[in-house]
Structure 1
Amino acid sequence: MTVEGGDEVWTASDAQRHVRLLGLSGSTRQASTNTALLRALQAVAPDRICLDVYDRIGSLPVFSPDLEGAATPPAVQEFVRSVHGCDGLIVSSPEYIRSIPGGLKNAIDWLVSTHHVIDKPIALVHASHRGDEMLQVLRTVLATMSTNFKPEIFFRLSLLDQTPDGIAQIVGAPPNRLAAETFLETFATFCRERAPCKPA
């Protein structure tokens, strides 16, 4: 089936196309629970969903308007390219003093200095039963930076004090795996719906 729109024709197969997602860890810790959750989601991602994980916000210099444009550091350029190239962004963050950690806020500052994130679909995952105040702040920030932040698409597991291997086992065990797959499928569908249609 095709749908015509102006001079372009769109195919129904767009609804089943592969979706590339990027998981953004808001932690700089090597054994981060948030990074481990994103990697566990990566491991259970259904067919047609590719989830990459960006866990290097600690490598980004402090945002400065003086470093925009031609002066943008290579680490920032790589980060912005990763976000630009994905169909949707999944953010997982710890809570620091009831708010967003400085490293994640710095990464977000770099993103909003470009146009790549304005319409980017964004969803949240959370690795703790705590942190609701941080989540509220983060939801406000994400809703401000993107017109396609979807707070209703949300995945949460209490994983505090678990090792990365333990987190992988917890996420991979039913019914958590089913909930994780459902979350990813729901977000992928949202990303497909928000993606610019491509000519057949």
Structure 2
Amino acid sequence: MTTRILMICGSLRAGSTNEAALRTALEVLPPGAAGELYAGLGDLPHFNPDDDRDPLHPAVAALRAAIGAADALLFCTPEYAGALPGSFKNLLDWTIGGGEMHERPVAWINVASPAAPTGGGDAHASLRKVLGYASAGIVEKACARIPVTRRDVGPDGLVHDPAIRARIADAVTALVASR
């Protein structure tokens, strides 16, 4: 049986190292796994609890359906102003009411450079907190800090450094093994 991993990038920036890490994760999936990169972050409306009812906005319904169809989730998000980027937090807010993340295995890859003020630690502490509210199953062995710089990303949007690719592969393999 194939393990389906939904990969969600918390950055809307073109050429994001976070997206490059997830695109690379798609390339290094272990046998028996399939992945999909979620592309609807920018399409989600601002979260309003009054709108968290049927009929849902089509972008919200698509997000919840994608999460519900996945066996596991892999996040990669930057830190912005000491927390999660607003658009990514908005996505997470839309997941709370649906219950699709309940006990679903989740992990994240932190690609912040060592020079970043907290190395992305504040964003990931926030992510951990929100995922706790969603009752997601955090797979600690699959959560990894793997710094990726813009120089590490090729023109094709992938990371080609063998050591970095191996570390990304290890994280994805640990997530798949948790199933």
Short-chain TM bin: 0.7 to 0.9
Structure 1's consecutive aligned runs of 4 or more residues displaced over 4 angstroms after TM superposition are none
For 1:81 and 1:47, locate their aligned partners in 2 and report how far apart those are by CA, in whole Å: 24
Query: Is the Cα contact below 8 Å between 2:8 and 2:75 reproduced in 1?
Result: yes
Task: Give identity over the alignment, percent.
Answer: 27
Which residues of 2 match residues 129-168 of structure 1 at below 5 A?
129=113, 130-162=119-151, 164-165=153-154, 168=158
For 1:158 and 1:147, locate their aligned partners in 2 and report how far apart those are by CA, in whole Å: 25
For 1:29 and 1:154, locate their aligned partners in 2 and report how far apart those are by CA, in whole Å: 22
> Which of 90, 93, 99 is the equivalent residue of 1:115?
99
TM-score of the aligned structures, taking structure 2 as reference length: 0.87
**Equivalenced residues, count:** 173
**Is 1:100 matched with 2:84?**
yes
One-letter amino acid matched to 2:73? L
Instruction: After TM superposition, give the deviation of residue 46 of structure 1 in Å.
Output: 1.7
Instruction: After TM superposition, give the deviation of residue 147 of structure 1 in Å.
Output: 4.1
For 1:76 and 1:162, locate their aligned partners in 2 and report how far apart those are by CA, in whole Å: 34
Which secondary structure does the structure 2 equivalent of 1:168 belong to?
A: coil
Query: Is the Cα contact below 8 Å between 2:12 and 2:42 reproduced in 1?
Result: yes
For 1:93 and 1:60, locate their aligned partners in 2 and report how far apart those are by CA, in whole Å: 17
**Deviation digits for residues 5-55 of structure 1 (CA, Å, limit 9, x no counterpart):** xxxxxxxxxxxx310001111111232221111011101112111111113
> Which of 151, 161, 175 is the equivalent residue of 1:187?
175
More strand by share: 1
Q: Which runs of 5+ in 2 are unaligned?
A: 114-118
**Is 1:175 matched with 2:163?**
yes
Larger Rg: 1
